[in-house]
Amino acid sequence: MTQSDTIPSAFASTPWTAQRLAPVLFLLVLSLAFALANSNFATFANLQNIVLASSILLIIASGSTFVILLGCIDLSVGAIVSLTGIATALLVPSLGAWALVVSVAVGLAVGIVNGALHVGLRIPSFLVTLGTMTAIGGVSLLLNDGRPIPIVHPTFKFLVSGTLVPGVPNIGLWAAAVYLVLILVDQRALFGRHTKAIGGSERTAGLIGLPVGLRKIEAFAISGAAAGLAGALLTARLQTAAIAMGEGLNLQAVATIVIGGTFITGGVGGVARTLIGVLVVVVLSNGLDLLAVHPYVQTVIKGAMVLAAVMAMNDRRLGIPK
């Protein structure tokens, strides 16, 4: 039955079904349409814009993909970005660029707490991360009474805005590195395989003796650490940290993961696909900006896009025709 839509799998880790190709095709069509509609779209400068705008989202969404693959959700990533961004801004004067390490560690810790609460107390991940999201939002406010914190630190700024590779802002390198490492973890490590097995059928995975709880905690830890890194890098890019910096990133991350082709119900998908989802969201936003579409209208279009994508990628497992 599926033989017709699979190709020899020497190149692919999973079959290239029509469902998997759809987001790629959509991204190509979208880009082509913008390129034809506006001469400023397909330029080097605009490509740089797209890289800049994609990087933070790609780091967060790549990390969070494992959580979605498990059939869970992490709503706290936006709040982690704000918390670690503010923490970074407070620490840069004393620690310099090392503040970034602390930021990742804080994100990791929040992720472990998320995972441990979800696994240990058997609270749905939606509720756990909704709770931690709210709580660490409060911590972020306490840190500086909700006031923005500007930073001045050339080395720290170079981390994201410098160009080690000519023409590519360093933040793009960070994102590429995180993305590629997580693809390896997804496709080559036991963790990646276990994640998909658990998300596909937790009962089966348990009966094979896979460490279900541990894998879940690890997935939330990766998600938190990636968000922590994103928080530090965002502060470096903006040269300031504010409570609102992570706002809405949690739902954007989920949207990009699902648009990329990872099933919200878990088990199917992968980190590699998340890049496509990120680019769809960023290219759409960038193209509409270039076309001078009113920002409020843009919000409506983006929302409709997410709905359309989710419908197109809808998990048909509950009503398989055969």
Between 2 and 94, CB nearer to other proteins: 2
Residue 267 Cβ vs other proteins, minimum distance, rounded to whole Å: 5
Residue 268 Cβ vs other proteins, minimum distance, rounded to whole Å: 5
Residue 189 Cβ vs other proteins, minimum distance, rounded to whole Å: 5
d(CA 67, CA 297): 31
Residue 192 CA: distances (Å) to CA of 69, 198, 260, 276:
9, 10, 17, 19
Between 185 and 279, CB nearer to other proteins: 185
Task: Please give the structure tokens belonging to residue 317.
Answer: 């497992």
Between 95 and 116, CB nearer to other proteins: 116
Q: What angle do CA 189, 192, 198 make, to 5 degrees?
A: 135
Query: DSSP assignment of 81-147, as one string?
Result: HHHHHHHHHHHHHHHGGGHHHHHHHHHHHHHHHHHHHHHHS---HHHHHHHHHHHHHHHHHHHHTT-
Between 289 and 315, CB nearer to other proteins: 315
Residue 121 Cβ vs other proteins, minimum distance, rounded to whole Å: 18
Q: Letter for the amino acid at 235? A: T
Between 14 and 144, CB nearer to other proteins: 14
Between 86 and 198, CB nearer to other proteins: 198
**Binding-site ranges for other proteins (CB under 8 A):** 1-3, 6, 8-9, 12, 14-15, 188-191, 193-194, 196-197, 200-201, 203-210, 267-268, 317, 320, 322
Query: Contact, 76 vs 136, CB < 8 A?
Result: yes
Q: Which of 312, 307, 305 is nearest to 30 (CA)?
A: 305
- With b for 16 or more beta-carbon neighbours within 10 A and e for fewer, the 138-149 pattern comes to eebeebbeeeeb
Residue 125 Cβ vs other proteins, minimum distance, rounded to whole Å: 20
Task: Please give the structure tokens belonging to residue 314.
Answer: 């809808």
Between 169 and 269, CB nearer to other proteins: 269
Q: Letter for the amino acid at 26? A: F
Residue 201 Cβ vs other proteins, minimum distance, rounded to whole Å: 4
Residue 208 Cβ vs other proteins, minimum distance, rounded to whole Å: 5
